[in-house]
């Protein structure tokens, strides 16, 4: 080892800057960063309660104004006024178009609107609008219905003359949408109910089966709204009540497609409502008579009397079959006995009244 010489330490401290930088870098690489007391995490003694954080309230935005709809809401009075001007057309051919229908009723007045209804669609999953636009219609269906709204009620009265005309081998039914009570009564007098109709039967089949009874005003078969298949019953209205009488005579012999029809008289809605009201009134009167019984209060002895055990005296047994005594019964006599007494009294100069003799 070399010996120490004077001045070695000072020379080492006063070394070049490059060597000093190397030493500084050596010490700085091994040093760790200093952490303050505030940055040290201390675990709290009490744990915070777990739960949902409160939601921040969002600023309320003003609601947009509703757009004006194509079909504005109408009051009940306005709807009734439109229904009075609306004409119903039934049993139209399935291929009948708007232009043809408008041309058929154009002579009676200005048409405000026209729409088809009860069109049978082939695919129920797609919906009615899509099927009608793509012309997916049930091929087994034969007819559809329509509604026409006129500007005035007078036009509707004139258009009723088209009822029963032939349109492509179909007798169309033209009728009002709104009817008065008197019109409903008149319709029921000249109408019959028909049941047990085959589902595939048409209005023309029913008409041909009952034409022998009289002149038919219209035939109405109730059908399903989606599939347009018959529900098995319907109504037939004749021009006169004589058609109803004749139909009731031959009701056991009428058949359609090998199926026997069930024919009955029609009852109007007004008469059915009146019978229901009369029955309800009778039931109420019976209930009121039971609840509002006015008489003396019942006693314990009354139970024994009505049960048939004893009379009020409790000495004699009560016989329910026993008739009342003849003491209080009014005396009557036959005509022969009365005539004999009158003759005797006339000889003796007296007058007889109800078995009693009075002297003049």
The predicted structure's pLDDT at residue 350: 55
DSSP secondary structure letters along 284-349:
HHHHHHHHT--SPPP-HHHHHHHHTSB-TTSSSB--TTPPPPSSSSPP---HHHHHHHHHHHHHHT
The predicted structure's pLDDT at residue 334: 66
φ, ψ dihedrals at 24, nearest 5°? -60, -40
Q: Provide mean pLDDT across the span 219-236.
A: 88
Nearest CA to 240 out of 220, 217, 263 is that of 217
Whether the per-residue pLDDT at 297 is higher than 70: the answer is no
| pLDDT level of residue 287 (50, 70, 90 thresholds) | confident
- List pLDDT tens digits, range 64-101: 666 656 667 888 899 999 999 999 999 999 889 999 99
Nearest CA to 120 out of 274, 248, 204, 229 is that of 229
The SS3 call for residue 50 is coil
Alpha-carbon gap, residue 116 to 203, rounded angstroms: 19
Instruction: Give the predicted TM-score (pTM) of the model.
Output: 0.57
Q: What is the share, in percent, of the chain residues with pLDDT greater than 90?
A: 36
Q: Provide mean pLDDT across the span 286-310.
A: 56
Q: Token digits for 283?
A: 């039931």
- Going from the C-alpha of 295 to that of each of 235, 298, 311, 332, the distances in angstroms are 55, 9, 20, 34
Of residues 60 and 198, more confidence is placed in 198
Q: What is the share, in percent, of the chain residues with pLDDT greater than 70?
A: 62
| pLDDT level of residue 256 (50, 70, 90 thresholds) | very high
Residue positions counted in the chain: 360
Which stretches within the chain are classed as H helix?
8-13, 17-30, 76-84, 98-104, 128-133, 153-159, 181-189, 203-210, 242-249, 269-291, 300-307, 335-348
Q: Are 87 and 156 in contact (CB under 8 A)?
A: yes
Q: Residue 244, Cα to own-chain centre: how many angstroms?
A: 30
- List pLDDT tens digits, range 146-179: 999 999 999 999 999 999 999 999 999 999 999 8
- List pLDDT tens digits, range 180-209: 888 888 888 899 999 999 998 999 999 999
The predicted structure's pLDDT at residue 357: 43
Alpha-carbon gap, residue 247 to 240, rounded angstroms: 12
**359: Cβ–Cβ under 8 A, 6 or more apart, which residues?**
349, 350, 351
């Amino acid at each position: 080892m070399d010996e120490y010489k004077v001045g070695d330490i000072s020379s080492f401290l006063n070394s070049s800057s490059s060597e000093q930088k190397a030493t500084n870098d050596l010490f700085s690489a091994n040093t760790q960063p200093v952490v303050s007391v505030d940055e040290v995490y201390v675990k709290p003694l009490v744990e915070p309660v777990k739960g949902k954080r409160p939601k921040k309230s969002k600023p309320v935005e003003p609601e947009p104004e509703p757009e004006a709809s194509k079909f504005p809401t109408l009051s009940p009075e306005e709807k009734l006024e439109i229904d009075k001007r609306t004409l119903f057309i039934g049993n139209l051919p399935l291929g009948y178009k708007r232009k043809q229908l408008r041309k058929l009723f154009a002579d009676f007045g200005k048409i405000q609107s026209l729409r088809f209804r009860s069109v049978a669609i082939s695919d129920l999953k797609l919906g009615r609008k899509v099927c009608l636009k793509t012309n997916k219609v049930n091929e087994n269906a034969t007819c559809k219905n329509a509604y026409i709204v006129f500007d005035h009620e007078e036009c509707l009265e004139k258009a009723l003359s088209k009822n029963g005309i032939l349109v492509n081998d179909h007798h169309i039914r033209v009728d009002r949408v709104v009817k008065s009570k008197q019109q409903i009564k008149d319709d029921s007098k000249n109408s019959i109910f028909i049941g047990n109709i085959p589902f595939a039967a048409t209005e023309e089949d029913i008409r041909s089966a009952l034409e022998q009874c009289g002149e038919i005003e219209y035939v109405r078969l109730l059908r399903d709204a989606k599939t347009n298949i018959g529900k098995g019953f319907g109504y037939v209205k004749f021009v006169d009540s004589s058609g109803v009488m004749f139909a009731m005579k031959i009701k056991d012999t009428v058949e359609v497609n090998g199926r026997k029809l069930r024919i009955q008289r029609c009852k109007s809605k007004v008469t059915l409502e009146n019978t229901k009201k009369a029955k309800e009134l009778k039931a109420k009167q019976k209930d009121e008579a039971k609840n509002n019984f006015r008489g003396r209060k019942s006693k314990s002895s009354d139970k024994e009397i009505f049960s048939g055990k004893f009379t009020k005296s409790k000495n004699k047994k009560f016989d329910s079959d026993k008739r009342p005594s003849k003491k209080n019964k009014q005396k009557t006599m036959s005509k022969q006995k009365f005539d004999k007494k009158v003759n005797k009294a006339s000889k003796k100069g007296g007058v007889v009244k109800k078995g009693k003799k009075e002297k003049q």
